[in-house]
Amino acid sequence: MNKRTLCTCLAGILTLPISILASAETLPDRLERPASQSHRVTSKLFTDLVTVGGKAIAVGADGSVLTVTSEDNYQQAEVPVDLLLTAVDFVDDTLGWAVGHDGALLMTTNGGRSWTKELDGIAIGELMRASAEEKVTRLEQATEENPDDADLALKLEDAIFKLEDIEAGMEYGPALPLMDIEFIDESTGFAVGAYGMAVETRDGGQSWQYIAGIDNPYSFHLNAVFSPAPGVVLVAGENGLLFRSMDKGTTWEPPREVGFSSLYNFVPGSGAEVLALGFGGTLFVSRDQGETWDQLDTGSSDTLFGGTSLSNGGVLLAQRGGLLYSEDLQEFKHWPAPGRSLWMDVVEPTAGQLILGGQAGIKTLSLNDVLGGVE
């Protein structure tokens, strides 16, 4: 699939997470305008959820962040931006991070009750330009020292094109979204997004750097980042591309191609299993921290967006029309949601209680309700 045609309008049929790119209005001040408090907030689009202290933290449209125990029992957070938030991650019960459109990167230190903006697309653009300029300078020097090296000349040409592309994009302002964020400890975190955006921090968010070590010369979208084990970091993106680091992101291995469909998320399975899921029902499993991947047959062609491992040892995956359930990653059963709503994520904050987020807002269910209704 051509990455330049990925962005489709959310007002139509939402088939790709990156399609959310085109859904929000373009406003010059939404990075500075606080999210509005609303009594109808639970009916908005929610894109990602995480379990924190027996509750769910959900992020979504218009800067909405909720602490949820049920559909009728929630608290809306104070958020400094009025734009679509795409992912959330917590280090512990108090320290959390969220990302979204226009490169917004937010932090909370009080368990999600209030958030501050720590980074945005303007600053990320400067980081990307500085990294690209450094690469051009380095290659120019190498080319001068080796004028007959055709490979160096080609690398310099590509680097100059990348720099010009970054500068052209900056003229339009901070328009591109961050799609995911993952902190592997209090100090070390990674955020990835559209057209190859990737930044990291080694000091708890006090400073951020562009990740130049990910080999993504064609700037494919990077949709998900996940750490399945200490020191291991996985990044997934368009066209089945998957990147891995075994040393906390200090170095990155050459990209793997895990199938041909775009990957949108990682979900931990039971034990050492990691699931990579995405477009058209694509689902792969790795049992060796991302070294090798095996494709799974879910029997569904509906795109998978998120999911969770369960207290009973099974796994639930969120998609258009409902949920997929499996106890063994061999047989998958479908739970049909009313109206075939699109669900982006599901979590189990306490054993047997499920909270879903998606196009229809927030929904709570019992695990028994789902298991009793699977087909």
Write the pLDDT tens digit of every residue in 137-152: 999 999 999 999 999 9
- Taking the C-alpha atoms of residue 194 and residue 318, their distance in angstroms, rounded to an integer, is 22
Pair 19, 150 in one domain: no
Identify the band that residue 9 occupies on the pLDDT scale cut at 50, 70 and 90: very low
Pair 161, 284 in one domain: no
- Taking the C-alpha atoms of residue 66 and residue 49, their distance in angstroms, rounded to an integer, is 9
Pair 166, 178 in one domain: no
Identify the band that residue 340 occupies on the pLDDT scale cut at 50, 70 and 90: confident
In the chain, the amino acid numbered 292 is T
For residue 97, the tally of other CB atoms under 10 A from its CB is 22
Q: How many domains does the chain have?
A: 2
Task: Check whether 368 has a pLDDT greater than 60.
Answer: yes
Pair 66, 143 in one domain: no
Pair 166, 17 in one domain: no
Give the pLDDT confidence score for residue 27 in this predicted structure.
46
Pair 115, 140 in one domain: no
Pair 189, 250 in one domain: yes
Give the pLDDT confidence score for residue 283 in this predicted structure.
97
**Structural contact between residues 332 and 324, judged by C-beta atoms closer than 8 angstroms:** yes
**Domain, as residue range, for 154:** 125-170
Share of the chain above pLDDT 90, in %: 81
Q: What is the pLDDT of residues 22-76, one digit of tens each?
A: 444 444 479 999 999 999 999 999 999 999 999 999 999 999 999 998 878 999 9
Looking at the DSSP bridge assignments, the partners of residue 354 are: 365
Looking at the DSSP bridge assignments, the partners of residue 234 are: 226, 244
Q: Which one is predicted more confidently, 372 or 70? A: 372
For residue 164, the tally of other CB atoms under 10 A from its CB is 12
What is each CA distance from 47 to 65, 92, 99, 322, 328, in whole angstroms? 10, 21, 11, 15, 26
Pair 142, 277 in one domain: no
**Structural contact between residues 319 and 366, judged by C-beta atoms closer than 8 angstroms:** no
Identify the band that residue 20 occupies on the pLDDT scale cut at 50, 70 and 90: very low
**Structural contact between residues 31 and 117, judged by C-beta atoms closer than 8 angstroms:** yes
Pair 100, 247 in one domain: yes
Give the pLDDT confidence score for residue 15 in this predicted structure.
37
- Taking the C-alpha atoms of residue 111 and residue 56, their distance in angstroms, rounded to an integer, is 11
Give the pLDDT confidence score for residue 22 in this predicted structure.
41
Give the pLDDT confidence score for residue 224 in this predicted structure.
98
Region 155-178: what's the mean pLDDT? 87
Q: Which long-range contacts (CB under 8 A, 24 or more apart) does 241-249 make?
A: 241/216, 242/276, 242/290, 242/293, 243/214, 243/215, 243/216, 244/289, 244/290, 244/291, 245/213, 246/289, 248/184, 248/188, 249/188, 249/190, 249/200, 249/211, 249/213
Pair 151, 293 in one domain: no
Pair 97, 138 in one domain: no
Give the pLDDT confidence score for residue 374 in this predicted structure.
86
Say which range, 66-70, 167-171, 187-191, 246-250, has the weakest mean pLDDT.
167-171
Give the pLDDT confidence score for residue 110 in this predicted structure.
97
Residue 336, both tokens: 């049909």
Angle at 268 between CA 184 and CA 288, to 5 degrees: 85
Give the pLDDT confidence score for residue 143 in this predicted structure.
93
Task: Check whether 5 has a pLDDT greater than 60.
Answer: no
The domain that holds 297 is classified in CATH as 2.130.10.10
In the numeric block, the tokens 């226009």 are attached to: 102
**Predicted TM-score (pTM) above 0.85:** yes
Pair 285, 317 in one domain: yes
Q: Which one is predicted more confidently, 18 or 150? A: 150
Give the pLDDT confidence score for residue 94 in this predicted structure.
97
Strand, coil or helix: 261: coil
For residue 315, the tally of other CB atoms under 10 A from its CB is 23
Q: Across the chain, what does the average pLDDT equal?
A: 90
